Chains A and B, each alone.
Chain A
Amino acid sequence: MSNEQIDKAPEAIEMKSKQHPKLQEFLFSLKRFLKNPLSIIGLTIIISFALIAVFAPIIAPPYKTDNPYQIPHKGWAQEPQPPSVENPFGTMPEQYDIFYGMVWGTRNAFKIGFSIVFFNLIIGLALGTIAGYFGGIVDEIIMRIVDLFYALPFLVVAMALVVALGRGLQSIIIVMVVLGWRQYARIIRSEILVLRDKDYIQAARASGASHLRVIFSHILPNSIYSVLIVASMSVGTAILTAAALSFLGLGSGVGYADWGQIVSTCRNYIVGPPGNRLAYWFLVFIPGFVISLFVLGWNLLGDAVRDVFDPKMRRK
């Protein structure tokens, strides 16, 4: 055997295509994603909601363009009216149009879900990464803070904060960010603790990479997926919790196009008058159904994202 054979590495294992590896990786993920019927259903649901949110001004033209989230109402009559041509989903007490509320509420739902998860991610990632990567006393301090936040009773703190900040959606978002980031911090920290001692991290350090470089180009790309999976799964939950807080009366005032608030306004009419207990079915059923569908969509999507990205469920 000649020297030439020795010194040339053989061709890499057969390659299926000549695409850029990043693209190939993406296509591979996409294929996995599209193979699963549940993920398609989830995606369809979310896309439909997104379309509704985007085209809200066309689907339900606001009468007050400066404040479209204000639901229009005709008169002050207390008794809810069943669905009709004019009000396809019926009306709430004080004759607020449920259809309008649901359409514009979709926008609100996306806003709430995304902003809560986004801020949670930022805070959780930053603190978790610092704690996990640097370890020692920094880790100790940050994790004790996390423990502290875990010890806070959710409802009590939520009430207290809303009282302090004033009612409204912003307050709900703030409450849920304050109480939500702890989970992300823990997940990312445990991921990083495993990664930190990996040879390739040490190799990077040995080749002179700074801490920032190690974190941003080695640690985060290898650990962020688990957090993203949790994040995609918790958009739905965030909205559900926000709706629950609205229902408890911590949300914005009557007439504001927010799903939780709509249910809250209707709570006195859940059961109909004697003799016709189901008279106001549409009050509970329609918002309830829409909220459930939205949450279901996100959960299906979250599951699909997990299946695609979770290294344990991929390849070998």
Chain B
Amino acid sequence: MDKLIETKELYTNFYTYEGTVRALNGVSLSMKPGETYGLVGESGCGKSVSVRSMMRIVQSPGKIESGQINLFMSDKDHQKGIDILKRSETYMQSVRGNSISMIFQEASSSLNPVLKIGDQVGESFVFHRHEEMVKEAIDRLLEKSEKSSNGLANFFRNISVKLLQSELNSIEKYDLKVAEIDKELLEIEDNEDEASIARKHSLNFWRDRCQEYNFLIKIQRKIPILNAYQRGIGKAIRRNVLQLLTELGIPNPSNIIDRYPHELSGGMQQRIVIAIALACHPELLIADEPTSNLDVTIQAQILDMIKDLKKTKISSVLFITHDLGVIAEVCDRVSVMYAGDVCETATVKDLFKNPQHPYTKGLLNSVPKVEQGEKLATIPGVVPNLVTPPSGCRFHPRCPYAMEICKNEKPEIFELNDEHSTSCHLYSQKEDK
């Protein structure tokens, strides 16, 4: 089966004053390339922690205890994964910008209040698409010097082109090396003999060194006057930012890029955040409740935009929300989470029509619907405290079907069919009989 990213039995804990918060309790998810995958659940159930673990950016008292996170992006056929928990931080940095981007719930807090919008979007180009920007700058310069006949100006242009070229060469050289190393790493990924492990270590080490930028280039950029050649890159970035904002349908982009975040409305800020995330052409966009703080009409605008982008720019989206309505609207496949467990995974239609896990059923019944009777169905009880989570199936204290075994054993994932799986003892028991 084609995969994009998967987690296997992921456990993440937070070590706080009050005790250990067992936030993830063996989370297994698997995303296919090209789909919009939804992660839904109530507040505190571990949605954000799951994706933060996937990006390896869990905040401070938190720690990924065990499990695997396999990334299938360096393999073209999406068959062979790399366990990113075993990779270095530098490797993760390159993954984070280049293959996966993430947008957070609070748009305003992920924008820097003292930088202009244009600079913030541009920064993303500097970090992740430097090579393209340099190339573009060189092309422009060459074009100009062909047209103009001013000898002096052309002389300076030539110097700039030379310097840019040297920068480009060094980037390309290192990129090639990294690609080579990656290939070899992928081949020996699953080998566990001593020689391979040693080889992996040294390869990882060299990969990290390659990503740290060429020393000479760094100096070259700092020399006053000489570093004026960098202006070409700046212009290229600005052009690209404008183009990106226009593509995203943001009205009046040339005005927007000179403004500060606080001068924009919440919806506009969220769009800028999306623009920043898209600047590096990620393969996967993770959206952590991108519309939860927005009004319905603005939310509709943003959802519309994400749906459009799905057709044109990004291949896969991992969409987190607590609103079942939003899930129904944008996602292809969904996982429902409860208190650190994944209860049920299914296609959206299947999940809403044919929910299997008692929690999913309860949840679907308890949201007010368009045609609503006198009373809402409820799930009795409260969401558990994850410092002292219930034993066995974490839902058992609230589950109307709970059996003896639910108190003692954590249910396995049970595959109902290819597309639908649930972890509940009701189904594993049926199987036994």
Contact = CB atoms under 8 A, between A and B. Distances in A.
Chain A bound to chain B? yes
Interface of A: 1, 5-6, 10, 13-14, 314-316
Interface string B10-22: 0000001110000
Interface string B371-392: 0000101111110010010000
A1 B18 CA distance: 34
Contact of A6 (B16, B378, B388): B378
B17 A1 contact: no
Interface string B231-257: 000000000000000000000000000
Nearest to A10: B381
A210 to B, nearest CB: 36
B382 A10 contact: yes
A13 B16 contact: no
Contacts of A13: 382, 385
A13 B388 CA distance: 10
A73 B375 CA distance: 91
Top-9 shortest CB links A-B: A5-B380, A10-B381, A10-B382, A13-B385, A6-B378, A315-B17, A1-B377, A14-B388, A315-B18
B382 to A, nearest CB: 5
Interface of B: 16-18, 375, 377-382, 385, 388, 400
Contacts of B375: 6
A40 to B, nearest CB: 19
A6 B380 contact: yes
A5 B18 contact: no
14 contacts: A1-B377, A1-B379, A6-B378, A6-B380, A10-B380, A10-B382, A13-B385, A14-B385, A14-B388, A314-B17, A315-B17, A315-B18, A316-B16, A316-B18
Nearest to B397: A10
Nearest to A2: B380
A14 B17 CA distance: 17
A5 B378 CA distance: 8
Contacts of B385: 13-14
Given A315-B16, A316-B17, 18 more contacts: A1-B377, A1-B378, A1-B379, A1-B380, A1-B400, A5-B380, A6-B375, A6-B378, A6-B380, A10-B380, A10-B381, A10-B382, A13-B382, A14-B388, A314-B17, A315-B17, A316-B16, A316-B18
Nearest to B382: A10
Nearest to B21: A316
Contacts of A315: 16-18
Contacts, number: 24
Contacts of A314: 17
A13 B382 CA distance: 8
A13 B387 CA distance: 11
A5 B16 CA distance: 33
B377 to A, nearest CB: 6
A5 B381 CA distance: 8
Contacts of B18: 315-316
B424 to A, nearest CB: 18
B211 to A, nearest CB: 36
**Best-surrounded residue of A1, A6, A10, A314 (most CB of chain B within 10 A):** A1
Most chain B CB within 10 A, of A5, A314, A315, is at A5
A25 to B, nearest CB: 14
A168 B148 CA distance: 88
A227 B378 CA distance: 46
Contacts of B377: 1
A14 B16 CA distance: 18
Nearest to B378: A6
B112 to A, nearest CB: 24
A155 B18 CA distance: 48
Contacts of B382: 10, 13
Nearest to A316: B16
A10 B378 CA distance: 12
Nearest to A8: B380
A1 B358 CA distance: 12
Contacts of A1: 377-380, 400
Contacts of A316: 16-18
A306 to B, nearest CB: 16
B59 to A, nearest CB: 12
A13 B385 CA distance: 7
Contacts of B388: 14
A14 B382 CA distance: 11
A316 B14 CA distance: 12
Nearest to A13: B385
A12 to B, nearest CB: 8
B365 to A, nearest CB: 9
Nearest to B365: A1
Nearest to A3: B375
Q: Which of B375, B377, B379, B380 has the most CB of A within 10 A?
A: B380
A262 B375 CA distance: 81
Contacts of B381: 10
A226 B69 CA distance: 45
B374 to A, nearest CB: 11
A166 B18 CA distance: 56
Contacts of A10: 380-382
A34 to B, nearest CB: 15
A314 B16 CA distance: 10
A241 B379 CA distance: 63
Contacts of B380: 1, 5-6, 10
A6 B365 CA distance: 14
A89 to B, nearest CB: 46
B43 to A, nearest CB: 14
Contacts of A6: 375, 378, 380
A10 B385 CA distance: 13
B156 to A, nearest CB: 55
B23 to A, nearest CB: 13
Contacts of B16: 315-316
A297 B268 CA distance: 54
Most buried by A among B17, B18, B375, B388: B17
Nearest to A12: B382
A10 B16 CA distance: 26
Contacts of B378: 1, 5-6
Nearest to B384: A13
Contacts of A14: 385, 388
Nearest to A313: B17
